Amino acid sequence: MHKVPKGVTLVVGLGVSGRAICRHLARLGVPFMVADTRSAPPGVEEFQSAHPQVALYCGPLEALDMSEAEEIVVSPGIDLRTPGLAELRHRRRTANDEPLVVGEIALFVRACRAPIAAITGSNAKSTVTTLLGEMAREAGRRVAVGGNLGTPALDLLASELDAELYVLELSSFQLDTTPWLGAHSAAFLNLSEDHLDRHGGMAEYRAAKLAIFRGAHHGVVNAEDPQTWPAAPLPHLDYFTTAIPQGDAWGIAHHAGRDWLMHGEERLMPADEVRLAGRHNQANALAALAMGHRLGLPMAAMCRVLRRFEGLPHRGEVVADVAGVRWINDSKGTNVGATLAALAGIGPTLAGRLVLLAGGVGKGADFRPLAAPLARYGREAVLFGCDAQRLAQALEGQVATTVVADLEAALARASQIAQPGDCVLLSPACASLDQFANYQARGDAFCRWVSRHIKGREGQ
């Protein structure tokens, strides 16, 4: 049996985060070795070139004796129930009684010397993270943005930028291995079914997300989703809602013929001036404003960002508006909750109806909640991929459905049936891995098709 030498830190997983962990440990001079369950993990040549003296074990973890490891640092992509790791998950280190098994964010917290703003949720966390980072920059702050989005958190620490604020998007996988975060401001945006194959159930998934509030000075939660509320009191807690705000909450109210973003009774800016489309994005704006306010960012600077920020690729991205039909790429809608948010945010704004393109790998999710908003706003659901039939069954009798082989066929069908005032929305409610390498590749395919077949009609 292979063995981790005594006093050596073991890094499990050689993905993007795993390699960032290795770089961090190397900078600190901490002795470490690496294990990966794959026989030939991608990036192994890059790793060996950067760390030629570091031992690498490839194979099942149960064949690796980890009993004398100083610490085990697990990449987010590694399931903590993996044989060989599961038995050690709840073990403590004898030296300081801290958990033996931790993740990259635990290392980040130890080394970080500036306030942390952290965002999690089943959906929209990338948008809110990016918005808050842009707001901080607009206010003149030296801010570093990353985590589950963009640059790995540990690599942010190696930047030449002397950051005075770190804004991190954190997934449930990252939070599951973070015993203490201590964020200056932490937001839990929403909760819907996702990653149940990894967490085992909604209770476990929610518990992982709630770890974002451990040691937090300030929390931001969704007034319309009590599942986001912390189990224990926080020093300061703000609520956001798309309804009229109660008390000091952040919300939306009607005044003089327009809807306004509000903080309590204070009008901040007209809601229709938020560049991001849809009510769900106005909720995202309110969450970012609540965090920024606590971080001391000027309201004027934050509102300037909201007036110009166009959003992220594959997240409610308007690709074309031709002959009265809008084409939106929301390929990042990889679960039911994300697609529900898109339907509820875009549907009420249309003069026409929604043509939804959905399907892929459903991860065991219940698709039935999509039926009611599609009955209200939908013209047709065009379904593709391995779970298309399951989707069709869930929507039966509520909206017209057509099952096709793939995204290209779905787009062709949508172009035939869309009418002026309609929106063709790619928001699949599913992962992409049955037909694409990732959601980005799926969104790129949507954009290419629309550019080739739809944009050429402009001006005709």
Question: Active-site residue 195, yes or no?
Answer: yes
Question: Active-site residue 148, yes or no?
Answer: yes
Catalytic residue among 24, 51, 123, 125: 125
Backbone φ and ψ for 107, nearest 5 degrees, come out as: -65, -40
Helix (H) or strand (E) holding 28: helix 16-28
Residue 99 DSSP class: B
Burial environment of residue 405 by CB neighbours within 10 A (0 to 12, 13 to 18, 19 or more): exposed
**Could you count the other beta carbons within 10 Å of the beta carbon of residue 364?**
10
Question: Active-site residue 284, yes or no?
Answer: no
Structural tokens at position 131 = 């918005």
* Rounded Cα gap, residues 217 and 353, in angstroms: 44
DSSP letters of 277-301? -SHHHHHHHHHHHHHHHHTT--HHH
Backbone φ and ψ for 282, nearest 5 degrees, come out as: -65, -35
Neighbouring-strand partners of residue 238: 220
- Amino acid identity at 241: T
CA 351 and chain centroid, separation: 30
Catalytic residue among 184, 195, 453, 455: 195
Catalytic residue among 24, 51, 123, 148: 148
Burial environment of residue 84 by CB neighbours within 10 A (0 to 12, 13 to 18, 19 or more): middle
Residues assigned a catalytic role: 125, 148, 195
